Amino acid sequence: MSVLVVYAHPSPQSFNHAVLEEFTKGLKDGGHSFEVVDLHAIGFDPRTKLEDLAQFAGGQMPKDVLDQQEKVVAADTLVFIYPKFSASFPAILKGWIDRVFSYGFAYQGSEKGMEGLLKHQKALLIDTTGFPEEYYKTTGLEDAFRLYGSSILSSIGIQNVDFVSFYAVPMVDDETRKKYLETAYRLGKEF
């Protein structure tokens, strides 16, 4: 299994980064090959550029997008590890999705409408949150997010999508955080 891990927290001292570390340690121990793209570390610019619009005229995407598309193609599964900001993908990751999953690369038009072009076996979305589970559940934000994430990935051809949330990171006790990290390790090892 060849895994592309797209990671999107600004701080290497964050709990989200610890999740990344445990998950990739698990991948390693499970015998999976993987590559991590640390979006903040590479200075990925999430803003759609005028040059990005070339995709709709059959033109070439900017180099930073092509580099990412090469990594996407080389993997057979995608993993996203990110903090929920405003109950969804942080902007840096939303922009990676906006720009990298471009027309002609991730999808194309067909008689039936939109046709997904990616062939990945599965995608796993792992996030950490600032608020308790009840907030996301009672407001409908969790349903909206999961429907959103699975529909977007399904639109580009990835039907098998799983979600894992580690809730209320700043509020939970050390024991819970330890369990979160054990889960992250196990998710990698049994991937």
**Cα 99 to Cα 103: distance, rounded to the nearest angstrom:** 9
State the minimum distance, in angstroms, from the CB of residue 100 to a second copy. 10
DSSP 65-104: HHHHHHHHHH-SEEEEEEE-BTTB--HHHHHHHHHHS-BT
Considering the complex, state which of residue 89 and residue 166 has its C-beta at the smaller distance from a second copy: 89
Q: Are 78 and 126 in contact (CB under 8 A)?
A: no
For residues 74 and 123, is the Cβ–Cβ distance under 8 A?
no
CB of 79 to a second copy, least distance (A): 18
Cβ proximity to a second copy: between 11 and 121 the closer is: 11
Planar angle of CA 39, 69, 104, nearest 5 degrees: 135
The CB-of-119 to a second copy minimum distance in angstroms stands at: 19
Nearer to a second copy, 154 or 165 (CB): 154
Q: What span, in angstroms and rounded, lies between the C-alpha atoms of 78 and 32? A: 13
Nearer to a second copy, 133 or 182 (CB): 133
Q: Which residue number, 44 or 166, has a Cβ lying nearer to a second copy? A: 44
Residues within the interface to a second copy (CB under 8 A): 10-11, 40, 46-50, 52-53, 56, 85-92, 94-95, 97-99, 101, 113-114, 131-132, 134-135, 139-141, 143-145, 147-148, 151-152, 154-155, 170
Token pair in block for residue 23:
């998950």
Please report how close the Cβ of residue 29 comes to a second copy at its closest, in angstroms: 31
Displacement of CA 180 from its chain's centroid (Å): 18
Q: How far apart are CB 188 and a second copy at their closest, in Å?
A: 25
